A and B are shown apart, each in its own frame.
Chain A
Amino acid sequence: MDLYKRNKPEKQPFAHLIIDDKNIPSGTRKVNLTSWHHDKGQANLSNMTFSNGKLIVNQDGFYYLYANICFRHHETSGNLTKRGLQLMVYMTKTNLKIRRSDVLMKGGSTKYWSGNSEFHFYSVNVGGFFKLKSGEMISVQVSNPLLLDSSQEATYFGAFKVRDLD
Chain B
Amino acid sequence: LYIKTLSLQITPPCESEQHYEYSGRCCTKCEPGKYMSARCTGSSDSVCQPCGPNEYMDVWNEEDKCLLHKICDQGKALREVNPGNSTFQRQCACTMGYHWNEDCDCCQRNSICAPGFGAQHPVQQDKDTMCIPCARGYFSKVASSTDECKSWTNCMLMALSFLHPAGTNRILYL
Chain A contact residues, CB within 8 Å of chain B: 21, 39-42, 72-77, 118-119, 121, 147, 149-152
Contact = CB atoms under 8 A, between A and B. Distances in A.
B98 interface: yes
Contacts of B142: none
Nearest to B101: A119
A75 B108 CA distance: 10
The 4 closest A-B pairs by CB, nearest first: A41-B68, A76-B77, A119-B106, A74-B77
B68 A152 contact: yes
13 contacts: A21-B71, A21-B73, A40-B55, A41-B65, A75-B77, A76-B74, A118-B108, A119-B108, A121-B106, A147-B75, A151-B71, A151-B73, A152-B68
A150 B71 contact: yes
B120 interface: no
Given A72-B76, A76-B95, A76-B98, A119 B71 contact: no
A73 B68 contact: no
B101 to A, nearest CB: 9
Given A40-B55, A150-B73, A74 B68 contact: no
B150 interface: no
Contacts of B71: 21, 150-151
A150 B54 CA distance: 14
Nearest to A150: B71
A152 B69 CA distance: 10
A17 to B, nearest CB: 13
Nearest to A39: B65
A42 B74 CA distance: 22
Interface of B: 52, 54-55, 65, 67-68, 70-71, 73-77, 95, 98, 104, 106-109
B23 to A, nearest CB: 20
B76 A74 contact: yes
Nearest to A120: B106
A50 B97 CA distance: 42
A40 B106 contact: no
B60 to A, nearest CB: 20
Contacts of A118: 77, 98, 106-109
Contacts of A42: 68
Contacts of A121: 104, 106
Contacts of A39: 65
A73 B106 CA distance: 10
A127 to B, nearest CB: 23
A119 B67 contact: no
Contacts of A73: 75
Nearest to A117: B109
A41 B71 CA distance: 12
- Which of A41, A72, A149 counts the most B-chain CB atoms under 10 A from its CB? A41
Contacts of B68: 40-42, 152
Nearest to A152: B68
A74 B106 contact: yes
